[in-house]
Amino acid sequence: MTTDAALRATTQNSLCPIARTTSLISDSWTPLLLRELMVGRNRFAEMQSSLDISKAVLSQRLRTLEDNGVIERREYQERPPRHEYHLTEKGWALWDVLLAMWGFGDAWLFRDGAGMEIVHASTKERVEPVLVDRNSGERIDVRKTRLRIRER
Amino acid sequence: MTTDAALRATTQNSLCPIARTTSLISDSWTPLLLRELMVGRNRFAEMQSSLDISKAVLSQRLRTLEDNGVIERREYQERPPRHEYHLTEKGWALWDVLLAMWGFGDAWLFRDGAGMEIVHASTKERVEPVLVDRNSGERIDVRKTRLRIRER
């Protein structure tokens, strides 16, 4: 992959999609918080107890995700007002990032064979996340790629 | 996806591959540092200048990656001793996580159409990272999956 000055900025204004996503989720709690939401823990108390995270930190992370359109609040009780946090379409799209993390972690961080598997709900067949090029269906070799600025 | 008490631990000993990978790379600098190494910036001064990161922080992140077998040092000059940092096989495997971040960022964080593309070095065809199930070749719908403890 060749490089470009456009990669330089490390903020959310960088032209690099990795940099932008990093500024959104690269926090030691956020991927786990997204995981909780994906498995159906949508209430503050559930997430707090499951992750053993402080209320202040959890509130702050949820606010950031809400501000970025990754989650939205839904009231499930009026008096007193209580709400749940639900992933938006944008939030569900982060599933691919979590799946890629799953694939790496499963392959490289469980050398003793312990661990978990993802299976299809109906067939119980094992699901193995793998990243491919949408067009060719083949694995992407970083050393055979280049970057270019997109023409508008 | 159903849940399990095995997901609970948030440390590097969790049975959840997402949790383990989080503890390895979920830091606002580490994904960008991995990107630098993948595009061929292997020397301390190059990375420091490209990322505009403090020497102390860069040293610390490189040490963590080295301790975890993600990168290795190679001496390229003897007197005075100078070395470069290179990704190991395990380090290159993180490319999939970065590609998934790329895919999400490109789809959701560039609504104005600006941005970059990954292209094949030879054909210049656009590469579009997408996550599929290795066996079926199809996208993975989180709502149709379950988790189970792997049998050894």
**Closest Cα of chain B to A125: distance in Å?**
10
Q: Quick one: closest CA in A to B152, which residue?
A: A113
B108 phi/psi in degrees, rounded to 5: -120, -15
Q: Do A4 and B116 touch (CB under 8 A)?
A: yes
Q: Do B109 and A149 touch (CB under 8 A)?
A: no
- Domains of chain B, with CATH numbers? 5-144 (1.10.10.10)
pLDDT tens for B89-143 read: 999 999 999 999 999 999 999 877 778 889 999 999 999 999 999 988 999 988 8
CA-based torsion, A130, A116, A88, B110: positive or negative: negative
- pLDDT for res B2: 40
pTM of the model: 0.88
Cα–Cα distance for residue pair A26/B61, rounded to 1 Å: 14
pLDDT of A10 above 60: no
- Residue A58 confidence class, pLDDT cut points 50, 70, 90: very high
Q: Closest Cα partner for B25 from A97, A71, A3?
A: A97
pLDDT of A107 above 50: yes
pLDDT tens for B13-36 read: 778 888 888 878 777 789 999 999
- Residue B8 confidence class, pLDDT cut points 50, 70, 90: low
pLDDT of A3 above 50: no
pLDDT of B3 above 70: no
Cβ count near B75 (within 10 Å) = 9
pLDDT tens for A19-45 read: 888 878 777 789 999 999 998 899 999
pLDDT of B70 above 80: yes
